[in-house]
Amino acid sequence: MTTNAKCPPKLRLLIGSVGSVVGRNILDCLEYPAFNRRHLVHVAGTNSVAEAPNNFRCDECFLVPPTASPEYPERMKQVLHEVKPDVVLCGRDADTAAIHRLLQADNTLPGKLPYGSLESILIALDKLKTFQFCQEHGLPFADSFVLGRSGDLDDLHAFADRNGYPLIAKPIEGFRSSGVVFVRSRDELRSLSEHEGYIFQEYLGDRDALDDYFRSLEGPVPLFSEAPGMDPHNSFVVIGPDGSIGDVQIVHVFYEYGVGVNQRRVVHPEVEELTRAFAAAFHSEGGFGPLCLQFYPDRQGHQKAFEMNLRNTGATYALFLMGLDEIGIMINYLLPESNFPIVTVSNAHEHTITGKSSVTFAVEDSAVAALTRLGRWSIG
């Protein structure tokens, strides 16, 4: 017996910066053996590094310039026209704003982004805007200062006197804690104030616990070092385009040498309440999609956020294993007619621990060479 029935077309997904940790997490969610959805999706990726192994987990991949490059917009427009994606997900912060601007400027470009308005994206990208947004909405966030945008050098010293040492200094548009340093004294503050692009923040948590760590840096410099007490509570929620706020998942993250090695799902009523308030405020600015917040108690024991993202993160796969399917939820928000399968978990999975790991696989040099030479690679 034969039939002329056709299989429904695959959903077409484009992952920007697919070679990143976030790109790997998105692919892992689609390929999870017990709930495999990879066969339902045609995956295209873009990346600026040909050697990234994730490139070759896609059905096709395109080599693009770095996001900040003047050549990036035109190349991405070519990719969008060729791939014709239904949904675009981003592996890096900078991609969200860059691709949003392209789609906003040219309505002939295909693809939907699950990140809301450009204004809300920029709030999360610029750490001073994040702080100002929180002040406007009465949300607790680490006190912050940018020289020239918040005031002059005298104002910076007043900020330090108000919050005490150590302070935290971080790149305004940084990621993954790259370039983040402690500021332990007025001399260090003066030195860092000569460098542009830094935001200064109050340090949240137990300052006395840092004394031994700081003393260890005054002698021979250790090859590896780890500041104590860096185990925040991270919260995750997906905001619907209509402002609906889904289940909040809270994890206590444990770090070793700056890398989160495992995450324990917990119940934390204060953090959940704050997360819902943040989500409602973001939606009032036109934001929706995945929201990630990092919290730590201040000296008075009150929870304050100190980082946020409005995209998928390196925890996306761990969240999936604990019952929050960001990818499935977002696809159904953007394409409700797709009925894309969403994993569901029957309980809250409190006290579940997930560990980070990498799956090793081999990529032929010839595939890397083809992507480098042609700017495009595809299966077969």
Element of type H or E holding 289: strand 289-297
10-residue block means of pLDDT along the chain (380 residues)? 55 97 95 92 97 95 96 97 97 94 95 93 91 96 92 93 93 70 91 87 87 82 74 94 94 76 87 98 95 92 92 91 93 95 66 63 86 90
Q: What are the structural domain ranges in the chain?
A: 11-115+359-378
- Give 55-114 as a 3 state SS string: HHHCCEEEECCCCCCCCHHHHHHHHHHHHCCCEEEECCHHHHHHHHHHHHHCCCCCCECC
pLDDT score of 1: 37
pLDDT score of 348: 45
For 207, residues 6+ apart whose C-beta sits below 8 A from its C-beta are 164, 166, 299
Rounded to the nearest 10°, the torsion over CA 19, 22, 28, 29 is -140
Give dist(CA 333, CA 331) in Å, integer. 5
Helix, strand, coil proportions of the chain in percent (round to 5)?
Answer: 35, 25, 40
Tell me how many degrees the CA angle 317-322-324 measures, rounded to the nearest 5.
Answer: 75
- Considering only CA atoms, which of 92, 133, 141 is closest in space to residue 115? 92
Helix residue ranges, H only, the chain: 21-31, 72-83, 93-105, 118-125, 127-136, 153-163, 186-192, 211-216, 269-284, 316-321, 326-334, 365-374
Give dist(CA 304, CA 293) in Å, integer. 10
SS3 (DSSP) at 39: helix
Tell me how many degrees the CA angle 64-65-71 measures, rounded to the nearest 5.
Answer: 110
pLDDT score of 194: 85
- CATH code, 11-115+359-378: 3.40.50.20
Give dist(CA 290, CA 238) in Å, integer. 4
Assess contact for 160 and 186: CB atoms under 8 A: yes
pLDDT score of 179: 77
Q: What's the one-letter identity of residue 124?
A: A
